[in-house]
Structure 1
Amino acid sequence: MSIYKSAVTKPVTTIMVFLAVMVFGFYSLSNLPIDLYPDIEFPAITVVTSYRGASAADIENNISKPMESSLNAIDGLKEISSVSRDNISIVSLEFEYETDLNEAANNIRDALSILENVLPEEADNPMILKLRASMMPILMFAVTADESYQGIEKTLETFIVNPLNRIEGIGSINVIGQPERQISIEFDPRKLEAYNLSVEQVGNVIAAENMNMPAGNLKMGQMDYPLRIEGEFQNSDLISDLVLGSFNGQAIYLRDVATVRDSIREMSIDEKINGQTGVRLMVTKQSGANTVKVAREVNREIKRLAANLPPDIQIQPIMDSSTFIKGSINNLTDTLLYALLFVTLVVLFFLGRWRATFIIILTIPISLIVAFIYLFVSGNSINIISLSALSIAIGMVVDDAIVVLENISKHI
């Protein structure tokens, strides 16, 4: 009982301790990250494998089913399922909550390494993806363009993406639905036959010429410089001027047997914003970063950087999770204040004493401040889960305060 006796006999010390707790609590509150949900690592891992040109049936028989059979023995596995589509296989593994996902991912890699000789050689290496709440995009923008559409990816990379990556807390910025450049070569079969050439021969010549090669080292004094021969084609005109061979003593150029077109690859995702062609800009944050702060900085920078873009490129916000977060937190904050008000009125009505009511009500903000200290020290955030828990805890705090006050009054 010495600690309680000291708290009563030394009121100044007690007040100073509580003031110190309040100061540290407000400091913790000001530095707590704000997010919609806690940074939860879902107990699930997804294995994605690409196999270009394969049908859904081939994907299922050659990739999905062998993977399911091999991965079914992973420790801690709760459920396994797969989706087979044209060109891609998606195998989803759900684990028990106490499972160490890092260890599970290593076990999956070991199991997949055994399947290397079973999977088709043309298939890409499987990708292992772990899902976290922080991987969800916090901002999404629609970018439309007219004349600048073909080069919009490079324009956004230079004027928008690179500057935004310097903002503290940015995780990644992805451009979705951007046009991809494609060099198409359309052969004339009659001309190929006239020059005694085949498509395969021409393809081999193009592949042999379109590559960069190391060319040794150049030593100058104490320095040793690596040399490199750049042979990759920089534009379509260089491809047209490619020499394929000779015929009757004259050089045969690619333009003599084919037409080279610099065009845009046919896209599987066609982005339309209000009926206009465009792309999506998706922004994700780093784990533990303040969503509201990062979104505010990105929106401010977007407005500033948009002035440097060509006039036909327009950027419109289509999703901002910080708006929903601020609205949710404001609603929960209002709930806390209403709870505090009604608790005050109810306690005052039943006790009928202002002093006793003040003592009980004083425990609520102090308890909340201590809770913020715990959230700060433990690396958590202010989110709808933690605020909902605090709303529920107010009732428990008031109950305990009434019991303590009753015992104090009884002994006094």
Structure 2
Amino acid sequence: MAMNISAWSIRHPLPSVVFSIILLLLGWVSFTKLAITRLPSADIPVISVAVAQFGAAPAELEAQVTKTIEDGVSGVEGVRHISSSITDGLSVTTVQFALETNTDRALNDIKDAVTRVRANLPQNVNEPLIQRVDVIGLPIVTYAAISPGKTPEQLSWFVDDVVKRALQGVRGVAQVERIGGVEREILVSLDPDRLQAAGLTAVDVSRRLRGTNVDLAGGRAEIGKNDQAIRTLAGAKTLNELAGTMISLPSGGEVRLEDLGTVTDTIADRRTFARLNGEPVVALGIKRSKGASDVVVAEAVQKRIDTLKEAYPDVDLKLIDTSVDFTKGNYDAAMATLFEGATLAVIVVFLFLRDFRATVIAAISLPLSIFPAFWVMDLLGFSLNLVSFLAITLSTGILVDDAIVEIENIVRHMRMG
């Protein structure tokens, strides 16, 4: 005989009540933990392969490196699209997989494919750098740093050295992007006549600077029965030290860098600009990490901003844009719809059935039907976002309709005996 779950539950109410309470509690706890975001977190399987070859022209890289890498990874299972970008000395190949592909498996497959074609690459290329591309969305909040008493250079250094470092330590912050301001640049202007007289080229000087002006790990040594890390510090600490770098000549001698041209501490060409009320400012866009809540991250960032304002009163950090208000609005609207639908269902049951018992059953059964869904969402890694809010709103209407029909049908059969 087939088991009738409804009849068994009526005859044994205690297990059903306990099970319902457990589901309700699990759903409530999960509901309080669910991240509130604007859009769902997307794990898009994209892998990049970067190969550097110092001094190589784009045409040379395309023929010897890029084509070899593309041919090697094109046979990997699940590859949907391959694109490459080439600049002087660097080739970057981006491999996009089908959405259902596991990113970790795709990364391992690409590593294996590159290993197989590694012997076909030029011997003087650097080891290919293979990594997954984390797709980070738009900034959730944007601040502007304003300080009339600071120059654009000083304000940019302050944002980079103080504000960005402070915000990057906030839990849930994936990236702090500076918009506007200036970038420091050490410009080496070589004199063609001096280069020709010394028998050098600009590539020779660049290669020499890259090879000497660098700090490297030098291994380990036992000092006083303790292992100590050894580093070779060859990077120039001052502008004069860099200008005094010795450049080897083909004839066997050496010449100072400053004798081949001029070394200037300047700023790079501006590529981004930020203005607020017509005045130039330095803006900061904060992006959340995957799985973090927009609301929680924005509140934590604001607390850190308030701390910075107290520590540095001469710099005004002003909130100029936020998507969190829109996200909060969606959340409030979805919760209001859920509450209104449940309330109307209870009222309709009471008005039309005139049965207090049926009304109580409707008031209890609706949250018992809704909250376990939040537990499942938490287990599956979902968040409360625009898509899930839409699903909650639609399911609320269906749930209310079904609840009214079912309760009315039960009461009718009970009255019929």
Deviation at 1:308, TM superposition (A): 3.5
Deviation at 1:41, TM superposition (A): 1.7
Distance 2:220 2:48 in 1: 42
Distance 1:229 1:81, change over 3 A: closer
Task: Report the TM-score when normalising by structure 2.
Answer: 0.74
Which residue in the other structure is 1:161 paired with? 164
Which residue in the other structure is 1:383 paired with? 385
Code of the aligned partner of 2:103: L
Which residue in the other structure is 1:372 paired with? 374
Which residue in the other structure is 1:34 paired with? 36
Distance 1:218 1:83 in 2: 43
Deviation at 1:298, TM superposition (A): 0.3
Distance 1:116 1:245 in 2: 33
2:188 equivalent among 169, 177, 185: 185
What SS class does the counterpart of residue 394 from structure 2 fall into? Answer: helix
Distance 2:356 2:198 in 1: 101
Code of the aligned partner of 1:391: T
Which residue in the other structure is 1:360 paired with? 362
Question: Relative to structure 2, which stretch is displaced further, 236-245 or 6-15?
Answer: 6-15
Distance 1:341 1:296, change over 3 A: same
What SS class does the counterpart of residue 150 from structure 1 fall into? Answer: helix
Deviation at 1:103, TM superposition (A): 1.4
Which residue in the other structure is 2:338 paired with? 336
Deviation at 1:80, TM superposition (A): 1.6
Which residue in the other structure is 1:45 paired with? 46
- The Cα offsets for residues 150-174 of structure 1, whole Å up to 9 and x where unpaired, read as 3555433442233333333333434
Distance 1:122 1:12, change over 3 A: closer
Code of the aligned partner of 1:232: G
Code of the aligned partner of 1:233: A
Which residue in the other structure is 2:198 paired with? 197
Structure 1: 5+ residue stretches without partners = none
- The Cα offsets for residues 356-383 of structure 1, whole Å up to 9 and x where unpaired, read as 3443343222212222333344443322
Distance 1:276 1:63, change over 3 A: farther
2:153 equivalent among 150, 153, 157: 150
Distance 1:64 1:347 in 2: 69
- The Cα offsets for residues 12-44 of structure 1, whole Å up to 9 and x where unpaired, read as 8876765565455433322322222333323x4
Which residue in the other structure is 1:138 paired with? 140
Structure 2: 5+ residue stretches without partners = none
Distance 2:281 2:389 in 1: 39
The alignment's C-alpha RMSD in Å is 4.4
Question: Relative to structure 2, which stretch is displaced further, 257-266 or 395-404?
Answer: 395-404
Q: Is the 8 A contact 1:60 1:84 kept in 2?
A: no
Where do 1:211-230 residues align within 5 Å? 211-212=214-215, 221-223=224-226, 225=228, 230=233
Which residue in the other structure is 2:399 paired with? 397
Distance 1:9 1:283, change over 3 A: same
Deviation at 1:238, TM superposition (A): 2.1
Deviation at 1:71, TM superposition (A): 3.0
Deviation at 1:390, TM superposition (A): 2.7
What SS class does the counterpart of residue 189 from structure 2 fall into? Answer: strand
What SS class does the counterpart of residue 373 from structure 1 fall into? Answer: helix
Count of residues paired in the alignment? 400
Code of the aligned partner of 2:81: I
Task: Report the TM-score when normalising by structure 1.
Answer: 0.75
What SS class does the counterpart of residue 389 from structure 1 fall into? Answer: helix
What SS class does the counterpart of residue 271 from structure 1 fall into? Answer: coil
Deviation at 1:352, TM superposition (A): 5.2
What SS class does the counterpart of residue 113 from structure 2 fall into? Answer: helix
Distance 2:62 2:205 in 1: 35
Where do 1:40-189 residues align within 5 Å? 40-42=42-44, 44-47=45-48, 49=50, 66-77=68-79, 79-82=80-83, 84=85, 89=92, 91-95=94-98, 97=100, 99-116=101-118, 125=128, 127-131=130-134, 137-143=139-145, 147-152=150-155, 154-175=157-178, 179-188=182-191
Distance 1:301 1:191 in 2: 53
Identity %: 23
Deviation at 1:65, TM superposition (A): 5.3
Where do 1:234-249 residues align within 5 Å? 234-242=237-245
